[in-house]
């Protein structure tokens, strides 16, 4: 019997979910989860980098958990979530200690290498807050389609590091909340102007943590609009 499901906060749609781990170039084992569409191949891949672990960020930070719960079914996307070094979640604790965004270069590279090793298609890097910093610092020369940046603070990313993305053939999309605690849309447009192809999207009424289902849906829709526009906009209900 078919079942109609409303897409709301706690929904978990069908997917193939696999606990995964991979090893960094400096020998640390990082733990995570790969979610794939059930019964069909993904059309694109999200490799996600979570907010600051010293302030509660981890692979289950709510936007990423909801992306994993929804987007394999709704948009045919593979979603890789993992804990950066020294970070814990119910999945487990990754080896190592927080590296202030420096030693995490090896984490970024290991995650991308893992996605490549699994033959996952059309890889996009998705960073949130601290995750945007390590995406921008270390993703510019990797074999990816582009980067989607949620609430980028641009605390750790220099103008020179930003400029390395300009004209590199990769898309750069920044979603900036109107009421962000660190970088607001007008400021973001100035900072990202060094990247010729950057698209800065200001999101009205949103805050840094994208709290609430309205904010979540906006973020996931913008991700899908960039990565698999044929599945945009996401449905409000689905029949399984």
Q: Is the pLDDT of residue 1 over 70?
A: no
Instruction: Name the domain count of the chain.
Output: 1
Residue tagged 């973020």 (tokens): 219
Whole-model pTM over 0.95: yes
Rounded to an integer, what distance in angstroms lies between the CA atom of residue 234 and that of residue 72?
Answer: 12
Q: Is the pLDDT of residue 197 over 80?
A: yes
Is residue 88 within 8 A of residue 48, CB to CB? The reply is no
Domain CATH for 188: 3.40.50.1820
| pLDDT in the model for residue 2 | 85
Q: Where are the alpha helices (DSSP H) in the chain?
A: 62-75, 105-117, 130-138, 159-163, 185-191, 213-227
Q: Is the pLDDT of residue 229 over 80?
A: yes
Q: Is the pLDDT of residue 185 over 90?
A: yes
Q: Is the pLDDT of residue 13 over 70?
A: yes
**pLDDT band, very low/low/confident/very high, at 100 (cuts 50, 70, 90):** very high
Rounded to an integer, what distance in angstroms lies between the CA atom of residue 132 and that of residue 153?
Answer: 8
């Amino acid at each position: 019997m078919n079942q109609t499901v409303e897409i709301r906060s706690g929904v978990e749609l069908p997917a193939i979910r696999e606990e995964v781990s991979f090893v960094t170039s400096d020998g640390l084992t990082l733990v995570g989860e790969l979610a794939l569409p059930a019964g069909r191949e993904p059309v694109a891949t999200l490799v996600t980098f979570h907010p600051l672990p010293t302030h509660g960020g981890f692979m289950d930070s709510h936007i990423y958990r909801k992306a994993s719960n929804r987007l394999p079914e709704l948009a045919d996307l593979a979603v890789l979530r993992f804990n950066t070094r020294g970070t814990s979640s119910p999945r487990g604790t990754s080896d190592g200690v927080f590296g202030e965004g420096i030693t995490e270069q090896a984490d970024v590279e290991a995650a991308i290498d893992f996605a490549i090793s699994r033959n996952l298609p059309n890889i996009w890097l998705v960073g949130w807050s601290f995750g945007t910093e390590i995406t921008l610092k270390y993703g510019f020369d990797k074999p990816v389609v582009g980067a989607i940046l949620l609430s980028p603070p641009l605390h750790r990313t220099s103008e020179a590091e930003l400029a390395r993305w300009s004209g590199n053939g990769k898309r750069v999309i920044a979603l900036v909340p109107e009421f962000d605690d660190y970088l607001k849309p007008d400021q973001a447009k100035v900072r990202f102007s060094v990247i010729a192809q950057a698209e800065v999207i200001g999101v009205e009424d949103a805050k840094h943590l994208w709290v609430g289902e309205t904010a979540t849906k906006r973020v996931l829709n913008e991700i899908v609009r960039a990565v698999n526009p044929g599945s945009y906009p996401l449905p409000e209900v689905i029949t399984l």
